[in-house]
Amino acid sequence: MSSTTLDTAHEQSVAGARTYAIRTHGCQMNVHDSERLAGLLEQAGYARAEGEDADVVVFNTCAVRENADNKLYGNLGHLRQTKLARPDMQIAVGGCLAQKDRGEITRRAPWVDVVFGTHNLGALPTLLERARIQQEAQVEIAESLERFPSTLPTRRDSPYSAWVSISVGCNNTCTFCIVPALRGKENDRRPGDVLAEIEMLVAEGVQEITLLGQNVNAYGVDFGDRGAFAKLLRACGGIEGLERVRFTSPHPKDFTADVIAAMAETPNVMPQLHMPLQSGSDAVLRAMRRSYRQERYLRIIADVRDALPDAAITTDIIVGFPGETEEDFRATLDVVREARFSAAFTFQYSIRPGTPAATMPDQIPKAVVQERYERLVALVEEIAWAENRTQVGRRVEVMFADGEGRKDGATRRMSGRARDNRLVHVRVPDDPTARPRPGDVAEVVVTHAAPHHLNADDGLLTLRRTRGGDAWEARERGEVAPSAAVGLGMPSVGVPAPLPPARGCV
């Protein structure tokens, strides 16, 4: 699920404007934060540019992954020569690793101009300006959020599909996770503000949204309404033009029956659930300080399958947590067999400094972790493939998307997501006028299943031109002025003051 994105988008022909590029590491929340950084920079007059040619290169970092710091300092070292050749160029480092390492970054890489944290994304343009005028590095890390990130201008990557933050931070204390230390306590956005943002996006052509939070099932804890997430899903059902609603990530501890009922009874909430398991062993879950147990996890899965028989369920699993025995590991395999995940993001446990698990006894030798990991991946693939084969012959609705199929050019296919979020590669007509555009929706029959995708090689049964496709086409033709591509952010009236999110469940 983790991604590294080099934003190499189209050069803007803004004569004389300084240019920027953003390199994003980590989760969907970082990807969304990078949309905000892009919006802030464009609002400040910068234009998007090719990677290292840019006048400003921003690293939006992740502290969750192993070796994240080595990778960052490697990247910074690589840019040093560029900076020596072009002293005018500026380098900024933000995100979770910046929040964690702070001044250490400019000590180890003194050619960095700006360091900012997870709580003060909005300060980036000012810090760049100040660094340029004062000719010295600016390190500014806030201890709590300055503005709810959704109030910042945003340059969204997709005109038909959008992330919407509902909460930031996390009140849990999973022992492998650095997120609460870096992102702070959960802070929920008011439902009215969330819905207003969605309505604004839909009016602009967005037809799919993904609600984002570290623990979406806890949504409402901050304003005293434990049923708030189910209500929010139902309210999304009333937004005309909003075709697909997804969310990530739920926590099994807080998953309640009203959310399952809302999923089942709200037609635009997609039959899909990504629910982190982490381990199938009760002893390991206890050591992870995750307060559900195997039985509860499987109960939720069973209830979801009862209510939404076609739901695709995916998960995150960590192998080799300190103290994990062979028996514990087998309990994880048992859950994988019973839950029948259509995909699982599997991770080898590694020490993350600053987390409680880092100093636990009984760290598992690397060779043991590797061997268990390979067994887990083999089982996950076997089940995912079997689950995907049940799709062959079915008629599914696909929403096409940019960048989903790497081989599309060679295979004469276009790719998109089914309602259950499965990736589908679809044979499309040669005639460009008969082809779908990203954002358009087609019905197809699945003809082939692989462990990680489906193919639909009998072509399109139906094709619906959508507002999202129109919005994509308008952007491609340059009919959307760069300034108009940047949303102004949402009003902050009534919004509590929380901080930007990050995924962190692995």
- Report if residue 460 touches ligand SF4, rule: CB under 6 A: no
* Angle of helix 366-389 versus helix 326-339 axis, rounded to 10: 10
Determine the Cα–Cα distance for residues 367 and 6; give it in Å rounded to an integer: 33
Rounded (10°) CA dihedral 219, 244, 503, 290? 50
Q: Distances from the Cα of 74 to the Cαs of 26, 52, 106, 179, 388, in angstroms?
A: 16, 15, 14, 23, 39
Cα distance between residue 150 and residue 135, in whole Å: 31
Alpha helices in 204-253 (DSSP H): 228-236
Query: Which residues make beta-bridge pairs with 244?
Result: 208
**Contacting ligand SF4 (CB under 6 A), which of 92, 179, 396, 499?**
179
Q: Which of 63, 174, 182, 442 binds ligand SF4 (CB under 6 A)?
A: 174
Question: Which CB sits closer to ligand SF4, 150 or 215?
Answer: 215
Q: Which of 105, 139, 166, 170 binds ligand SF4 (CB under 6 A)?
A: 170
505 binds ligand SF4 (CB under 6 A): yes
**Residue 236 in marked binding region:** no
Q: Is 96 annotated as a binding residue?
A: yes
Shortest distance in whole angstroms from residue 347 CB to ligand SF4: 11
Which residues, numbered 250-269, are part of the site for ligand SF4 (CB under 6 A)? 251
214 touches ligand SF4 (CB under 6 A): yes
Of the pair 26, 180, the CB lying nearest ligand SF4 is at: 180
Q: What is the signed CA dihedral for 296, 302, 303, 304, rounded to 10 degrees?
A: 110
Q: What angle do CA 106, 110, 116 make, to 5 degrees?
A: 35
Least distance to ligand SF4, CB of residue 346, Å: 15
**Minimal distance in Å, beta carbon 394 to ligand SF4?**
33
Q: Is 172 in the site for ligand SF4 (CB under 6 A)?
A: yes
- Would you count residue 90 as binding ligand SF4 (CB under 6 A)? no
Choose between 288 and 456: whose C-beta lies nearer to ligand SF4.
288
170 is in an annotated binding site: yes
Please identify, among the stretches 71-79, 146-154, 168-176, 450-458, the one whose residues bind ligand SF4 according to the rule CB under 6 A. 168-176
Going by C-beta distance under 8 Å and a sequence separation of 6 or more, which residues neighbour residue 367? none
Q: Are strands 154-155 and 138-140 parallel, antiparallel or unpaired?
A: unpaired
Chain centroid to Cα 179, Å, comes to 14
177 binds ligand SF4 (CB under 6 A): yes
Question: How many residues form the binding site for ligand SF4 (CB under 6 A)?
Answer: 11
Encoding tokens for residue 445?
């029959």
Residue 72 or 177: which CB sits closer to ligand SF4?
177
180 vs 439, beta carbon nearer ligand SF4: 180
Q: Determine, following the binding rule CB under 6 A, whether residue 215 of this chain makes contact with ligand SF4.
A: yes
Query: What's the CA gap between 18 and 131, in Å, rounded?
Result: 15
Please answer whether residues 156 and 162 qualify as being in contact, where contact means their C-beta atoms are separated by less than 8 angstroms. yes
The one-letter amino acid code at 359 reads: T
Supply the angle between the helices 257-265 and 228-236 in degrees, to the nearest 10: 0
What is the footprint of ligand SF4 within residues 119-148 (CB under 6 A)? none
Q: Which is nearer to ligand SF4, 356 or 451 (CB)?
A: 356
Q: Which residues sit at the interface with ligand SF4, rule CB under 6 A?
A: 170, 172, 174, 177, 179-180, 214-215, 251, 504-505
Which segments are annotated as binding site for [4Fe-4S] cluster?
A: 27, 62, 96, 170, 174, 177
